[in-house]
Structure 1
Amino acid sequence: MPRRTRATAVAVLLLLAGCSSDGGDGDGAEGAAGVGDPYFPKAGNGGYDVTHYELTLDYAPGTRHLTGTAVITARATQQLASYHLDLQGLDVEQVTVDGEPARTSRAGQELTVRPASGLSTGRVFRTTVRYSGTPQTITDPDSSEEGWLPTADGAVALGEPVGSMAWFPGSHHPSDKAMYDLRVTVPEGLTAVSNGELVSEKASGKGRRTFVWHTGEPMASYLAMLAVGKFEVRRTAGRVPAYVAVDTTQVAASRAVVGRLGDVLDWSAYNFGPYPFRSTGVVVGRAGDAGYALETQNRPFFPGPPDLSTFVHELAHQWFGDSVTPRTWRDMWLNEGFATYAEWLWSEDHDGDTAQEIFDAVYAGDYYEDAEDNEAVWAFAPGDPPDADRISDPPVYLRGALVVHRIRQLLGDDAFYDFVQGWTGEHRHLVVDSGQLKAYLEKLAPDDDWDGVWEQWVYGKPKPSI
C-alpha cells in the first residue's frame, strides 16, 4: 500500500449469506450488502463470487465525463433473489442479468439488482451494467483521496481501500479477487495505461484511440488502476515483459530509479520467490496527481519520480499484497510489514544499514528525528488498528516490519528465506489472514514460541520486551 497516513482495518467476518427475505421475482434470499469488514462494513457483497470483469470505458478529460459498460461474471454461493454491487456516484442506465432486464435500486454505494428469476446456488451468471457520469474522488477516513483523480491532462484511478467503486461496479473487497479485461477509449494523443498486458492499441475514429488491457491473474479490485495522460512509453521483452509509462514532464527526473526496475525485480525474486505475474512495469505521473504511491498490480503508480526505497517497497508488494492478498483490512500489516522489511533487506544487501540495525533503531526510538514520531510507532498493535483512519499509520508499517524481523531472528537466515519463498509460493494468488501466517510458521518450526510472537508483537499494544 501507499506511503501515507490513512487507516482502515480490523477483523472481517465473511458473511456470504444475506437476510432471509422473499425475493418477490425469484426464489432465494438477498445477498448481503457487505462482507462484514468492521472498517468498511459495506465493502464487498455476499451471495456470489466474482470471477471476471469486462470493462468498456470512454473518457473525455475536457468534460470529465465517463461512459462505461461493465460485464461482471460471478458464481452464486447461495440461492439469490437479489444481490448488491458497490458503485459510488455515476448514473446507472440499464442492468441485465444473462441478457434479461433486471430491476434495480440505489442506496448510497449499494446498487441492488433483482433478476427476473432467482439464481440457484452454483450458477454462473453475468450482470451487465451500463452507466455514465462524472466519476467521484473519494475521501478516506484519514482525509487521503482515491477513486477517480483528475490530472492536468487526464486522470488516474486508484482504489485502496474502496476507491474502485468510483469508476466501475463490483464486489469491492480484497477477499473477492477476479480476472479483468479493460477496453478504454480516450482522445488521440493520450495514452490509457492499466494492469496486465496491452492486447491492442488502435485509432477508433473521430479523433479517439482505444487501448485494450488483459489481466490474467486474480486481482483484488483495490489494485485495479487506470491512468490517462501524455506518457512516454517504454516496452521491453524478456522473461517478464515490462511496460513503463512516464509522464512526459517527468522522464528525465525518473530515469535513474525507474531504470533499475530489472535490478529490483531480480533481487526481489531471489529473496521472495519467482515473480508472480506475467508482466511488470511502472506508471509515473506528476507530483500532485495523488498523495501517495500505490502498489497497483503489475504496474505500481508513483506521483512524480520515486525515490529508490519507495520503489523497492511498492515492487515488493507484488508478492506481499498483490499476489498474496489480505483477507480483511485488519490483515494489512501482512502487506505493509513485509514490504517495509523489503526496504530493510535492500539496505542490508546494498551497503546500507542492516535490518538488525534498523530494527534496533525503531525499537530504541531512534528511527525518526522527531520524538513524537518515534512514540507513534507504539500507538497500537500492527494487527489491531483502532479504527479506519489508522490502518496506514506507522505501527502497521514499522511494527509490522518488526514482526517480520522477529520471525527471522527465531528461524535464522537460511530458514527465514525458505519460509518467505514457501509462504509466497504456497499462497500465490490467494487471500490470507494473520492466523494462516502463524499456522504456517507453527508447521514450519513447531518448537518456536509463535504464540508469544503473536501475543506480544502482532496483537500486543505495549512495546514487547526482547
Structure 2
Amino acid sequence: MRPMLGRTVAVTAAVLTVVLGIQAGAQAAPTPGSPGIGDVYYPEYGNGGYDVGHYDIRLRYYPDTDRLTGTTTILATATQDLSAVNLDFALATQSVRVNNRAATFTRQSDHELVVTPARPITKGSQVTIVVQYDDIPSQVVASGFTSWNRTADGALAVNEPEIAWWWYPSNDHPTDKASFDVSVLVPDGVEVISNGTPTRWAQQALVDWDRWSWRQERPQATYLTFLAIGDFDTYRDTSADGSPIVTAYNTRLDATTAAAARASVERSDEIIDWAAGKFGPYAFTARGGVVTGINDQGFALETQTRPVYDGVSFTRGSNNSLVVHELAHQWFGDSVALGQWKDIWLNEGFASYAQWLWSEDQNEGTADEIADYVYSVAHPASDPFWQVLPGDPGPARLFHNAVYDRGALTVHHLRKLVGDEDFFAILAAWTSTNRDGDGTTPEFQALAEKISGVDLDGFLQTWLYTPGRPDLGISTLSVPSEPKSWHLIEAAGQQAHRH
C-alpha cells in the first residue's frame, strides 16, 4: 500500500512541528536498486531492492524466423524505497510500465535493463512491472554468448546459470524464487513443454495457431524455468498422489534412441518415489521429463518438475543413472536452491551421490565400490582433477568434474564418518528446513554438526577447499564435543526457513 498524504494531514504536521518544537528530520530520498543481488561469482546477476512473487509470461513464437514477441508481468514487493529498478534482460524492449504508468528504461549493459518508474516506489509496497518485447533470441549476444538454442523444429530455452535473459525479464538469481504462469502461442502442430502443470493444452487461439499454458505454483528459480518448443511425442499420466506426469520425446530421435530414452525417462515416477524415501517428501505437484533431439543442447538439466535431457544421452542405451541425477536435483538445487553459485557442490555433489545410492539399491555396485573406483582409478593422485576445489571452483570451472565426483566423494565420506543414521537424518533435515528456499555450505555444515554432534571443520576443509587428493588414512573427524541427542535432530528439522 502506498502512503497517502492529504493537505489536512500535511498542515497538521506543520502546526505540531511549530507548537511542540519537533525537529522534522529529513526523509531519505529513494535510491535505485542495486544491479546485482550479491553473488560472489556473478556480482551483476540478480538485482537489489525488490523480491519477485510471480511471473506471468505470455509469448508468441514464429519457428520459421525464430521471432519471439512477449509480455511479461512481474509481481514483486519492494524491499527498499526505490527510484529505479534493474531487470536482467537482453531482448529488444518496446515498453515498460510500473504500477500502471509508463516508465522510462535504458540499457546499463547487454543484459541489464534499468527501469525508472513515473513515481517512486515505497518500501513494502506491491509493485507491478509490465515489459513488452520483440526480438530474435538466437541472434542476441549477452556477456559474449547466447543461451537460446534454435533447433530444426523449434527452440530450447534451457541452460545454467543464464537462460532467462533471452525470453523473459527477471531478477535472475536462485535466491529470488517465484511462481510462474507461462503461456505460448505457436503454429498448429508445434508443441510447447514447460514446468509444472498444463492449464491449456494446444487450445486453438487463432486460425492455424494454438496456445499452450503451464503453471508452476511452487517457488522456482529463474534458470530452472524452461521452454521446449518443437515436434514431440507426448505422454500424459497421473502419479499415485494425483500429480500430472508429462513426458515428451522429440520426433527427430531414431527409433532405437527413442526407445532407450523412454525406457529411462518413463521410470521418473518410480525414481521420484525412491528418492523421497532417501531425502524426504517430494516438494512439487508435477512430474515428468523432456528428451530433445540428438545434440540439440548437449547436456541434461534439472529444470523444475520436468528435467530436459539431450537425446545423445540415450544413444548407447537406457540411462537410468542420469535420470536419477536430474531428479535428485529436485531436492538438491530446485527445492533447496543455492545461496551462492560458489556452493554448486551442494547441487552436483549430492545429485551425483544419489546415482551411487541408486546403483547400490539396484545391485549394480555399492557406494563404497563406486567411491573406491572414483578415488583410485578414475582420478589417480597425479590427476589435475584434484587441484580443483569443489567448495570454491571459480566461475570458469563451475561444472568441472571435480564439483561432481569429488563433491560426491565428500558426501560419501561424510556418511562414513557420521554413520548412516545421522547421515540420512541430515539429508532429511536439510531438505525440510530449506524447502522452497536456499542454503549455503556454512549452513549445511552447521546443520550437520548439530545433528551429528561432530566438528566438521577439518573434514570439509580437506575435501572441499584443499588442493590434492585427500589421504584416506588420516582422519579429519574431530571428537564430538557433546553426546548426540535426538532433540537436536528434531530441532534442526523444525528450524524456520531463512529465505
Fold-level match, TM-score > 0.5? yes
Measure the CA separation in 1 of the matches of 2:252 and 2:441: 42
* Residue of structure 2 equivalent to 1:344: 356
SS of corresponding position for 1:235: strand
What residue number does 2:457 align with? Answer: 451
Structure-2 separation of matches of 1:298 and 1:376 = 35
In structure 2, what is the Cα distance between the partners aligned to 1:341 and 1:114? Answer: 46
Tell me how far apart the structure 1 counterparts of residues 151 and 39 of structure 2 sit (CA, whole Å).
Answer: 31
- More deviation, 431-440/249-258: 249-258
CA RMSD for the aligned pairs? 1.9
Q: Deviations over 1:127-160 (max 9, x none)?
A: 000001101478899x9x7621111100010131
Structure 2: gaps spanning 5 or more residues: 1-27, 473-499
- Alignment match of 1:377 (pick from 381, 385, 400): 385
Within the alignment, does 1:281 sit opposite 2:288 as a pair?
yes
The answer on whether the counterparts of 1:187 and 1:207 sit within 8 Å (CA) in structure 2 is yes
Aligned residue number for residue 175 of structure 1: 175
How many angstroms apart in 2 are the aligned matches of 1:116 and 1:164? 26
Unaligned runs of 5+ in 1: 1-25
Matches within 5 A, 1:406-417: 406-417=413-424
1:246 pairs with 2:253 = no
- Give secondary structure in 1 for the equivalent of 2:335: coil
Other structure's SS at 2:148 match: strand
Does the alignment pair 1:44 with 2:54?
no
Structure 2 counterpart of 1:461: 467
TM-superposed deviation, 1:38: 3.3
Q: What is the CA-CA distance between 1:348 and the residue it aligns to?
A: 1.0
1:138/1:414 CA distance change after superposition, 3 Å: farther
Q: Paired residue for 1:234?
A: 235
Does residue 193 of the first structure (1) align with residue 193 of the second (2)? Answer: yes
**Which of 330, 344, 354 lines up with 2:342 in the alignment?**
330
The Cα shift of 1:76 comes to: 0.8
- SS, match of residue 396 in structure 1: helix
CA contact (8 A) 2:269 2:288 kept: no
Match for 1:314 among 326, 341, 349? 326
Where in structure 2 are the equivalents of 1:208-227 lying within 5 Å? Answer: 208-227=209-228
Q: Please give the residue correspondences for 1:9-20 in structure 2 after superposition, counting only pairs within 5 Å.
A: none
How many residue pairs align between the two structures?
432
Match of 2:66 in 1: 64
Q: What amino acid maps onto 2:422 in structure 1?
A: A
Match of 1:148 in 2: 148
- CA shift, 1:460, in A, is 1.8
Of residues 35-44 and 275-284 in structure 1, the stretch that sits farther from structure 2 once superposed is 35-44
Q: Secondary structure at the match of 1:377?
A: helix
User: How many angstroms apart in 2 are the aligned matches of 1:153 and 1:264?
Assistant: 30
Aligned match of 1:23: none
Paired residues of 2:422 and 2:451 also in contact (CA < 8 A): no
Report the CA distance between 1:206 and its aligned residue.
2.1
| Alignment match, 1:107 | 108
* Residues 44 and 348 (structure 1), Cα distance of their counterparts in 2 relative to 1, 3 Å cut: same
Describe how 1:25-44 pairs up with structure 2 within 5 A. 27-44=29-46
Residue number among 264, 270, 283 corresponding to 2:277 in the alignment: 270
* AA in 2 matched with 1:217: R
CA distance in 2, matches of 1:449, 1:36: 29
TM-score (norm 2): 0.83
Aligned partner of 1:8 in structure 2 is: none
Q: What letter matches 2:471 in structure 1?
A: S
Tell me the residue number matched to 2:301.
294
- The residue that corresponds to 1:9 in the other structure is none
Look up the match of 1:17.
Answer: none
| TM superposition shift of 1:241 | 2.2
Q: Is the 1:325–1:431 Cα contact (8 Å) retained in structure 2? A: yes
Query: Residue type matched to 1:219 in 2?
Result: Q
Give, in whole Å, the separation in 1 of the partners of 2:244 and 2:390.
Answer: 35
What is the CA-CA distance between 1:380 and the residue it aligns to?
1.8
Query: Aligned to 2:408, what secondary structure does the other structure show?
Result: helix
Check the 8 A contact 1:383/1:458 in 2, yes or no. Answer: yes
Q: How far apart, in 2, do the equivalents of 1:349 and 1:444 lie?
A: 25
State the SS of the aligned residue for 1:102.
Answer: strand
Higher alpha-carbon Rg:
2
Q: Give the superposition deviation at 1:464.
A: 2.1
Matched, 1:162 2:165: no
Question: Whose relative contact order is higher, 1 or 2, with alpha carbons under 8 Å and at least 6 apart?
Answer: 1
Normalising by structure 1, we get a TM-score of 0.89
Q: Deviations over 1:288-339 (max 9, x none)?
A: 2102110000000011054221111111111110101001110110000000
Contact 1:358 1:367 in 2 (8 A): no
Q: Which one of the candidate residues 77, 80, 83 is aligned to 1:81?
A: 83
* Letter aligned with residue 289 of structure 2: V
How far did residue 27 of structure 1 move?
A: 4.1
Q: 2: distance between equivalents of 1:137 and 1:294?
A: 23
Q: 1:249 to 1:159 in 2, by over 3 A?
A: closer
Same amino acid, percent of matched pairs:
41
